[in-house]
Chains A and B, each alone.
Chain A
Amino acid sequence: MSQSRQRQPLTYRSRILQPESERAADTHPLTWRLRDDGETVWLDEYLRKDGYQAVRKALSEGDPQTVIATMKKANVRGRGGAGFSAGVKWSLTLKGSGHPRGYIVCNADEMEPGTFKDRLLMEQQPHLLIEGMILAAWANNSRYGYVFLRGEYVEAARSLNRAIEEARQAGWLSPDINGSGFDFDLAVHTGAGRYICGEETALINSLEGKRANPRAKPPFPGQSGAWGKPTVVNNVETLCNVPAVILHGADWYQGLSGDRSEDGGSKLYGCSGPVANPGLWELPMGTTGTEILDRAGGLRDGLRLKAWLPGGASTGFLLPEHLELPLDFDTIGKTGSRLGTGLLTVVPETTSMVSLMRNLEQFFARESCGWCTPCRDGLPWVVKLLQSLENGQGEPGDIEMLEKLAADCGPGLTFCAHAPGAAMPLASAIRYFRHEFEQGIGKPRAQAHQDPIPAGQV
C-alpha cells in the first residue's frame, strides 16, 4: 500500500496552496500538519504533531456531555453545506439507558460540483478525520463508525484504510481506547456513484445496501438512522474540526474568525473555474470573496468576472459586487444564496448563463433519484427548455415556465434537498441575467409541442 505508484505527469494530486510556513497550529487547525511535499501524514508524524491528544483529553475527563457542550458553544456549523450546528445535532441524538448504541457516519461522498476539499483532508491527513470520528462517537455513544466514501476516491480509500489499521494497532480504535473502557471501531464503506448519496438519509439507505432514495424526516437519523439505530451523519471537514475544538476550547475556536463573522473557526475555502491559480486555502471563517479571488490570482487570460457560485452547483449565483461580503452562512444566506461548501466557482463574462445553467441542470436531472415527481419530471423539463433557449429556439413563456418549475422544486415541496438545490441557481440566474435567457427566444408560441416531454433522456 505504501509504495508510490508510477505516476503519469498528468496525474491529479490534491494540494493546499498555502506553504507550511503559513500554517500554524493555533490558526490553521485543519491543515497545519499537512506537508509541503503533499505526502500523507501517517501515525508517527500525526502523534508528533499533537495527534490523538484531543481523544486522550476527552476520554480522561470522562464526560461525553462536556464534549457536546463544547461543540455547541464553539458552534461548529456543518461544512457539508447545510451549516447546521454539529453540537446541536449531537445533543439531539438519542442516547443513554433505554436506547441502543448507534452509529457515527462520516459523509465523505464529496460530489457537489466545484468542491474538492474533503479529498485533500482524507488523502493527506486521514488520522485527523479518524480522531474526529472517535470524539463524535464518544459524545454520541456510537458503537461503530463508517466513512461513507465515494467510489471514485480511490486514493482516499487507500489512505484511510491504512490509517485505520495504524490506529487500530496503536489502540486508538479498540475495545478499550487508551484505557478508558470506551470501545469503538470504524470501517470505510465505498459507494458506487450517484450524487444523491450525499443526502444524509439517502446515504443511510445506501449504507444499508439499498437504492439511494431519501427517507422521510422525521424521524431524523439521530433518532432512527442506520438499521433503526441513532445515527449521526457529519461531513469530513466538520469532523476534522472537532479535535482542535476539544483540545483548545470553544472560545479559542470562536476567536479564529476574529470580527469577520459571527461564525467561528476556520474554513477550507477554494476557488475554481478559469482563474490563474485554482486551489484551496484554510482561512478564517468570514473571509471575503475578494480575498479568495485574489489568492487565486484573479481570472486568467484577461477574462472578466460575470458571476460566481459561493459553494457549489446547488447554491445561488452571486454578482461581482457580492465579493466584498464575508463568506459565512448567515451573510451569504441573506443574499438569497447559500454558503454551501465555500468553494467558489468563477464564471467569466464570455460564458453564456443559459449554457452554464443547461450544464448544471443536466447534472441535477441526471442525478435525481427519481423518487418524487417535481424532481424526476421537472428537471428534465427544465433541461429541455434551457436547450431550446440555448439554441435560439425558445418560445415566449419559456422563461416564466422555468421560473414556475424552479418554484415548484422549492424547499418543502420535494422529498429532499436535491430539487431545491437545482432550483436555487436557476432562479438566481434568471433574476440576474434575464436578458440572456430572453435572447434565446427565437420562435413564436407554438400550439403544441411536436414531441412529448422527455422522462429521462436529457
Chain B
Amino acid sequence: MTDSIDTTRIISSDRFELHPADETAIVRELDHYEQPQAATIEALKIVQRRYGWIPDGTIPAIARVLGIGPAAVEGVATFYSLLFRQPVGRHVILICDSSSCFLTGFDELKAALVQQLGIDYGETTQDRRFTLLPVCCLGACDGAPAMMIDDDTYGPVRPEDLDTLLEGYP
C-alpha cells in the first residue's frame, strides 16, 4: 500500500518482479511446510499487504518462487474471499451478514453504510477510501451486529455509531 506505482495499470505479467522483502518473506514461509505450494495463501497475503490487492503480475512471480504453475496460484487467489484480485479501497469493511447479526439489526446497519458510503457490496468509494464486502459470521455474536474495518472488529454497532467509527479510517 506504500508504493506509489499505479498497480491497477500493471498488465504485462512476465516482467513483474516481487519486492525483494516480499520474496524473502515468502521464502521464509516455506520452512513451515512439507511442500512449497502450502505457502501460496500466505504469499498472496504478503503481496496484498504491499499493494492493497493482488496485481496480475504477482501471480506468475509467486508461482516462480514456489515452483508451481501460475494457474494453481490464480486458482487460490480467486477462491478465497479475503484475497482481492481487484483493487480495493484503503480500508476494507467486512460486514457480518450471518444469522445472529441478521436478528439484531444487520439490515439497518447495512442500509446505513450503503447510504453513508454510496456503495454496495463489492464496490469502492470514489475517493478509494472504503470497499464494502459481506463476511461469514465473525464469531462476535455476543456483540452483534458486528463488522470489521481492516484488522479491527467492532460490535455491537448501531447506525448512529458509524460516523465516529469511520472517522478512525482516513
Contacts and interface: CB of A to CB of B under 8 A. Distances in A.
Contacts of A362: 97
B115 to A, nearest CB: 19
B38 A113 contact: no
Interface residues of B, number: 53
Given A114-B99, A278-B141, A206 B165 contact: no
A154 interface: yes
Interface residues of A, number: 64
Given A12-B154, A152-B135, A313-B98, A209 B37 contact: yes
Interface stretch (B2-10, B15-23, B72-80, B123-131): B72-80
Q: Count chain B CB atoms within 10 A of each CB in A14, A146, A191, A273 and give the residue with the most.
A: A273
Contacts of B38: 207-209
Nearest to A116: B139
A194 B79 contact: yes
A227 interface: yes
A113 B98 contact: yes
A273 B103 contact: yes
Contacts of B134: 366
Interface string B72-105: 1001100111110000000000100111101110
Interface in B136-163: 136-144, 146, 148, 151-157, 161
A369 B80 CA distance: 10
A351 B104 CA distance: 10
Contacts of A369: 79
B113 interface: no
Interface string B36-77: 011111101100000000000000000000100000100110
A363 interface: yes
A212 interface: yes
A119 B80 contact: no
**DSSP majority for the B interface?**
mixed
Contacts of B40: 209-210
A195 B146 contact: no
A115 B137 contact: yes
A293 to B, nearest CB: 14
A112 B100 CA distance: 11
A151 interface: yes
A118 interface: yes
A336 interface: no
Given A211-B79, A345-B103, A356-B103, A367 B139 contact: no
Interface in A1-35: 8, 10-15
Contact of B99 (A209, A211, A356): A356
Given A115-B141, A211-B79, A363-B97, A351 B37 contact: no
Contact of B80 (A111, A194, A227, A343): A194
A54 interface: no
Contacts of B83: 192-193
A187 interface: yes
Interface of B: 32-35, 37-42, 44-45, 66, 72, 75-76, 79-83, 94, 97-100, 102-104, 134-144, 146, 148, 151-157, 161, 164-165, 168
Given A114-B99, A154-B153, A206-B41, 13 more contacts: A10-B164, A111-B137, A114-B100, A119-B139, A146-B32, A151-B45, A152-B138, A187-B32, A208-B35, A211-B79, A313-B98, A356-B103, A359-B102
16 contacts: A8-B152, A15-B142, A111-B139, A152-B153, A190-B42, A192-B44, A193-B81, A194-B81, A209-B66, A210-B72, A227-B34, A227-B35, A229-B34, A273-B100, A363-B99, A369-B79
Task: List the 7 closest A-B pairs by CB distance, nearest first.
Answer: A193-B81, A272-B141, A209-B40, A113-B98, A192-B80, A193-B82, A209-B37
